[in-house]
Amino acid sequence: MPFVISGAARAALPSPPAASSWRQRCVALWRAPRSPQAIVCVLAAWLVLVANGALWARLGQADGYNGSLVLLRAAFAWLALWGTVLLLGLTAWPRGMKPAWTVLLVVAACAQHFMLAYGVVIDGGMVRNVLQTHASESADLWSPGLAAHLLLVAGLPLAWLWQVPVRRAGAWRSLGRTGALLLGASALLLLGVLGLYRELAPVVRNNMALRFAFNPVSPVLAVADVVIKPLLRRPRPRPFVSITAGAELGASYGAAARPPLLVLVVGETARADHFGLNGYARDTTPELARRGVLSWRDVRSCGTSTLQSVPCMFSHLGREAFVRRAANHDNLLDVLRQAGLAVLWLDNQAGCKGVCERVPSASTEDAQDTAAGRRLCEGGECLDELMLDGLDERIAALPEARRRRGVVLVLHQMGSHGPAYHKRSSAGAKAFQPECRTHALADCAREELVNVYDNSIRETDRFLAHTLDWLRARQARFDTGFLYLSDHGESLGEMGLYLHGMPYAVAPEAQKRVPLVAWTGPLGKRTGIDAGCLRGTLDAPLTHDHLYHTVLALMDVRSPTYRPGLDAFAPCRGSPA
């Protein structure tokens, strides 16, 4: 006969511990099936609370706002919540969405790390930079801080997400629920915008970078703009319009005994205000100073990243026309080559961004197994000095008929590329100590960060000085000249910003002010340049727009695209020697 406990006896049994009951309720809540709409709302709330640290920090430093910071953050939290629900609501479907939610969480974690660690914003330009970043440069960005953000922002919700069952409903019911979610989120977002407009509009106008600080809304919209929108719209590619017609060599080529040789160094991430030549308190450019070069002190770049600046600085259009161009064109190198000169692009960076597509090009990667490469390279990265090794052989490999007319060499530096600044200088250039040796730049003392960056400028100084020495040693064969111009600047913690790549309209001057250094030498005399006169122009405001026209005139190449008003040397050019 089965053993039966009476009701009175059952009532007399001790109750299970309260802690055990609480634990069971938590486990049941953790594992309870959820609708996709509920999952989206949970993830949106989590991301607003945990993944928007950069937004809350920027609000704390907002210019022109004197009201309650608590109320300001609450207002932006309302907008961020319903904007995120609206974004994630597009994925509120019962099947196949967990991988999409996983990607969104990982993107949000990475975006918050980089926005907090380096003060960057995630816009279309930054996404394009990421897509064109070299593998070794990407490795420099890995840090314990990034791992911590991945574990905190993405790891915990993913642990819940991948075990929670998703409730499934019929197609029409699921569509109705998702539609209701999107409609409700849109209404609440619109209500917030209209109700808070008078309070928030001045804040946004005075702090334009806030538009890019909503995470993950801003990163997702930036990726969609760069990757997805072109696929959906299938836009016609810009037509290609050639500008090389009429390019020809000037009169100096018939009169001179030697062909010209110009070395144009494209710098990387160098700030004009950290060059000793420009009045910086530290002597970061002692070698260049000893070689009597000219250094312009008020030069602005086309953009704040290599991807933006390099194609623009070699264009004939100028920054404003280049940004809104309806067609693509040849560039400076194409015009020089069309005129009959030998042109070579030599890279120690992640490519020429399309500038060298139609001219001979090479990379230091092919020299890493040489004796010089083993001395100057480590971990797949090389100091810029390697570009000078074997340079005569590279020139000799260019077509002989072109070499007899003249040679233009473009050397593209690794320069001061961050965040691994300590890799950008050799032991002999490390004049300033202690150095920041981590990729987490915000963890370094200000002095350490400035030290390590200034040491990278000292390395550039040595490289440029050795380039000048190399040129001077070839004056018996060529009329030589030299130009150095950096692609963009760099933020070193000012206003909480690091690295570069901010949208141009809101970028600080540190990311846009760049050094321009020249030694006109025999090439300048050949084309009638008065070096003494140029010394009186060093405070003249210049931009990347001047490079195209200045180089054409310096090389005495005639072209219908040449504009004397953008030739930086035109005020000091007389009759050719």
What does 235-278 look like in DSSP terms, one character per residue? PPPPPEE---TT-EE-THHHH-SS-EEEEEEEE-S--GGG-GGG
Check whether residue 256 and residue 228 sit in a common domain.
Answer: no
pLDDT at 1: 44
Q: What are phi and psi of 462, to 5 degrees?
A: -65, -45
| Sign of the dihedral defined by the CA atoms of residues 434, 440, 443, 447, in that order | positive
Contact 347, 394 (CB under 8 A): no
Do both 462 and 567 map to the same domain?
yes
Whether 508 is in a domain gets the answer: yes
| Boundary of a domain, candidates 176, 204, 233 | 233
Q: Is residue 413 part of a domain?
A: yes
Task: Please give the distance of CA 514 from its chain centroid, rounded to a whole number.
Answer: 15
Residue 243 lies in a domain: no
CA distances from 426 to 127, 296, 376, 421, 569 (A): 31, 27, 9, 11, 34
| All residues at 6 or more sequence positions from 114 whose CB lies less than 8 Å from its CB, including other chains | 120, 122, 141
Question: Tokens 């050019």 appear where?
Answer: 573
Gap between the Cα atoms of 569 and 549, Å rounded: 9
The three-state secondary structure class of 150 is helix
Pair 185, 289 in one domain: no
Query: Could you give the CA distance from residue 52 to residue 447 in angstroms, rounded to a whole number?
Result: 29
Query: Is residue 74 a part of any domain in this protein?
Result: yes
Place of tokens 């002597």: 283
Residues 225 and 303 in one domain: no
Same domain assignment for residues 311 and 202: no
Picking from 201, 233, 265, the residue at the C-terminal end of a domain is 233
Residue 9 lies in a domain: no
Residue closest to 515 by CA, chosen among 283, 242, 270: 270
Q: What is the pLDDT of residues 507-519, one digit of tens each?
A: 999 999 999 999 9
What's the number of CA atoms in the CB half-sphere (13 Å) around residue 60?
Answer: 8
Same-domain pairing of 223 and 263:
no
Alpha-carbon span 16 to 407, nearest angstrom = 89
**Has residue 471 been placed in a domain?**
yes
Domain identity same for 301 and 190: no
Determine contact, residues 474/395, Cβ cutoff 8 Å: no
Domain of 345: which CATH number?
3.40.720.10
Q: Are residues 370 and 442 in the same domain?
A: yes
Q: Is 174 part of a structural domain of the chain?
A: yes
The answer to whether 341 touches 406, Cβ cutoff 8 Å, is: yes
Q: What is the pLDDT along the chain (577 residues), one digit of tens a residue?
A: 444 555 555 555 555 555 567 777 777 777 788 898 999 999 999 999 999 999 998 888 887 777 888 888 999 999 999 999 999 999 988 888 899 999 999 999 999 998 888 888 888 878 877 777 666 666 777 788 888 889 989 998 999 999 988 888 878 888 899 999 999 999 999 998 888 877 787 788 777 778 888 999 988 888 888 877 776 666 677 899 999 999 999 999 988 889 999 999 999 999 999 999 999 999 999 999 999 999 999 999 999 999 999 999 999 999 999 999 999 999 999 999 999 999 999 999 988 999 999 999 999 999 999 999 999 999 888 999 999 999 999 999 999 999 999 999 999 999 999 898 999 999 999 999 999 998 888 889 999 999 999 999 999 999 999 999 999 999 999 999 999 999 999 999 998 889 898 889 889 999 999 999 999 999 999 999 999 999 999 999 999 999 999 999 999 999 999 999 999 999 998 755 5
The Cα–Cα gap between 80 and 52 comes to 9
Domain count, the chain: 2
Question: Are 440 and 544 contained in the same domain?
Answer: yes
Q: In whole angstroms, give the CA distance from residue 377 to residue 533.
A: 41
Q: Which residue range is the domain that position 353 belongs to?
A: 250-572
Q: Is 538 left (phi over 0), alpha (psi -120 to 50) or beta?
A: alpha
466, 342: one domain: yes
One domain for residues 184 and 270: no
Six-digit token pair at 46? 């989590």
Q: What's the CA gap between 511 and 504, in Å, rounded?
A: 9
> Would residue 492 count as lying in a domain?
yes
Based on the fold, state whether residues 202 and 275 are members of the same structural domain.
no
